[in-house]
Amino acid sequence: MPMLAAILSRPIDPEDMTSSGPRVIVHAPDSRGLREVSVAGKTVGRAWSPRDLRRVLRKAGVPADIDLGHPGQVRWRADPGLWPDRRWWRRIQACLMMLGLLVSAAVLFRVGLTDTLRALTFGGRVMGVLFSAAALVETVAAAAVLDYWGKRATRYAGQCVLVGVVIVAVTSLMFLILQWEGGYRAGLLWLWVLLVAWSGWALWEVSRHKVWRGIPYPKSFATGVALSALIGSTSVAYSAMYIPYVAPPKVPFMVSFGKPTLNAARTSLYVPAHITFRNEGSISIFVVGTQWTATIWPSTFREKGTGFTRWRDELGDGWDTHRYEDFNAPARLLAAGQITSAGSRLDPGDDFSKQAVIEVPLKEAGQGRVELDAAISFIRADRCKLANSYAQSIEYSWDVDSADRRHVWNAPSWLANPGDDFFRYRSKIYRSSAIMNMIQAPDWVAMWWVMPKWREGKLFAPGDTIPYMQVHIARDPDSREVLSEDEQEPYGMKTRSTSVDQPVALLRRSAERP
C-alpha cells in the first residue's frame, strides 16, 4: 500500500486521524455530482457513487473492508446518500458528442485523403491536407470527450472539445450552404442538416460548461489564428486556384489542304488534308469528341446570278452565298473520321494533329467544291475529369452481332430522327475535388456521332450521309435533361469547329502544275 505509506509520511492534521488510522473525508458533490475524496487531508480522487468511492479508496491504499457508515472511519461533509450524478444521461450526452465529432471526422478524412492524393489542382490538394488535419483534430476532440464528461483529469480536455465542435459547425454549415445553393436536394444534404443541428446543441452544451476558461490569452490567440488563416488561405486561393481557373486553354485548331496529286488514270485527285490540333497553353484538357469530314458539292455555272431575295435570305440564314455557282446536285461524303480517340488527355505541349488523304473522283465532282470540316470538343482537366472507361463506353444504335446490322434503338428526338444510326460515348463527370462531388448533383457528358438517313429535303444524295457530332452535359446518363450553356460553363467545356473548301478546278490545276 505505497500510497497510504506516502500519505502517512506527511504531517497530518489531528482532526483527520482516528484511533485506527487516517480519516477518510467525502466532500459535498459539485455541480456535476462528483464528490471529492481525501485521506489524511490529501485529495486522492473523486467519486460518482458509493461503488466508485470504494474504487478510489482502494487505489489510495485504504483497506477494502472499511465501513463507509462508521463515523469514526469516514467523515461525510454532506448526506451520505446524496449522489446526484445521472450516470446514464451523462453517458448519453458523451456518446452524442462523440458521435457527431466522429461522423464529421469520417467525412472530412474521406474528403481530405481523396483530395490530397487525387485533386486536379494544387490548391485542391492543399485543401485536402487541411481537411485531413481538421479530421485529426475532431478525432482527438472525440477522445477528449471521455475525459471531459468523466473526471476531467486532463487540463485542456474541454478546450479541445470546443475546437472540435467549432470545426464541425463551420464545415457542416459550409457544405449545407454550398449544396443548397447548387440546387441539389439529394445525396448527403440530410447529413449536413443533422450535423448543423448537432453543432447548435453541442455549442450550447460546451458553452454551458464555460470550457473556454483556462485558455491563456484567448482573444489574442483567436485573433492570431484568424489572421494567419485569412492571409494563408487568400495567398493559396490566388496563386494556386484563381490564376489557373481563369487562365484560358490555348488549343490551336485549323484545317487546310495540301498539294493534290492526280492518279495514273487521271480520274481522281488525291488531296492531302492537314488538321492541326495541339495544346500550346498551360492547362491540360480531356477530349470529349472529335470529327472530321470531307464532302464534295457538285455545281455548275449559273449564267444569271441569283436575285436579291435569294442571296439576302442566304446571308440572313448564316450561309455563304454564291450568286453564279449553282449547287444543283446533292452532296456526297468523301471521307470522315475522328482526329483522336475520345477521352484522350492533351497535356501542354502535346500534339494530336492529323494528316489524311482524300480521294476526289473527278467525274462526280464536275465544277464543284471539296469541303473539309472538323470539330473538336474538350473539357478542362483542372476542373473535372472523365471516367477511365470513357474510351470503351461506345454504344451503337445497330446490332453489331447481327449480319444485317439492323437498327435497334433511337437517339433522343431533339438530337436525331427516328431510324438515324449513331454511336455514343458517355461518362460520369468527376469534379476537381471530392467535396464538390459530394455536394453537387452528378452530371454526365455524352458525345454522339449521328449518321442521318436520307429524307426529302436533305442536302446529300439518297443512300449517302453527312455525319455530325453532338456533345453535351446532362443530368442523367440517357441525356433526357441537358444542361444549359451557363450550367456547363464551370466544367470549361468548349466545342470548336472549322472548315475550308476549294474548287475542284483549282485543286486539279495545282495537281497538274509541275
pLDDT grade, residue 223 (50/70/90)? low
C-alpha–C-alpha distance, residues 290 and 447, integer Å: 9
Using one digit for the tens of pLDDT, what is the confidence trace for 334-356?
A: 999 999 999 999 999 999 999 99
Percent of the chain with pLDDT over 90: 32
The predicted-structure confidence for 1-52, as pLDDT tens digits, reads as follows: 444 444 444 444 444 444 445 578 777 776 666 777 777 767 777 776 777 7
pLDDT exceeds 90 at position 82: no
The pLDDT score that the predictor gives to residue 272 is 94
Name residue 373's beta-bridge partners: 293, 499
Among 287, 203, 298, smallest CA distance to 251 is for: 287
- Note whether 284 and 345 are within 8 A (CB): yes
* pLDDT for 202 beyond 80: yes
Residue 500 CB contacts under 8 Å (≥ 6 apart), including other chains: 255, 256, 257, 371, 372
| DSSP for 233-296, written as a single string | HHHHIIIIIIHHHHSPP---EEEEE---EE-TTSSEEEEEEEEEEB--SSS-EEEEEEEEEEEE
pLDDT of residue 14: 46
What pLDDT shows up at residue 239? 46
CA distance 395 to 340: 18
8-state DSSP, 452: P
Position 151 confidence tier, pLDDT thresholds 50, 70, 90: low
Name 313's bridge partners.
Answer: none
- pLDDT attached to residue 399: 92
Closest CA to 81 of 38, 26, 42: 26
Q: What's the pLDDT at 489?
A: 81
3-class state of residue 68 by DSSP: coil
Quick one: CA torsion of 55, 57, 63, 65, rounded to 10 degrees?
-60
Encode pLDDT of 120-136 as tens digits. Answer: 777 778 888 888 988 99
In the predicted model, is pLDDT for residue 97 greater than 70? yes
Report CA 115 to chain centroid distance, whole Å: 9
User: What's the pLDDT at 324?
Assistant: 66
Mean pLDDT estimate for the chain: 81
Residue 91: CB atoms within 10 A of its CB come to: 12
Nearest to 437 by CA among 178, 109, 245: 178
Other C-beta atoms within 10 Å of 77: how many?
13
Share of the chain above pLDDT 70, in %: 82
pLDDT at 174 over 90: no
Most confident of 147-161, 293-307, 407-421: 407-421
Q: Alpha-carbon distance 139 to 132, whole Å? A: 11
Is the pLDDT reported for residue 282 higher than 60? Answer: yes
Which residue is listed with cell 473539357? Answer: 379
Give Cα separations from 512 to 261, 263, 267, 509 (angstroms): 8, 11, 13, 5
In this predicted model, which residue has the larger pLDDT, 233 or 397? 397
Q: pLDDT at position 316, please?
A: 85
pTM value is 0.69
Grid cell in block for residue 418: 427516328
Positive/negative CA dihedral, 403, 409, 411, 417:
positive
Worst-scoring range by mean pLDDT, 270-279, 307-316, 413-422, 453-462?
Answer: 307-316
- Helix orientation angle between 189-208 and 87-118, rounded to the nearest 10 degrees: 130
Amino acid at residue number 298: P
The residue to which cell 449513331 is assigned:
422
Give the Cα separation of 95 and 149 in Å (integer): 10
Instruction: Tell me the longest C-alpha to C-alpha distance in the chain.
Output: 137
pLDDT at 230: 56
**What HEC string does 185-205 produce?**
CCCCHHHHHHHHHHHHHHHHH
Sign of CA dihedral 455, 457, 462, 465: negative
Q: Are the C-beta atoms of residues 255 and 499 closer than 8 Å to each other?
A: yes
From the list 172, 184, 147, 182, the residue with the least C-alpha distance to 46 is 147
> Which cell is 514 given?
509541275
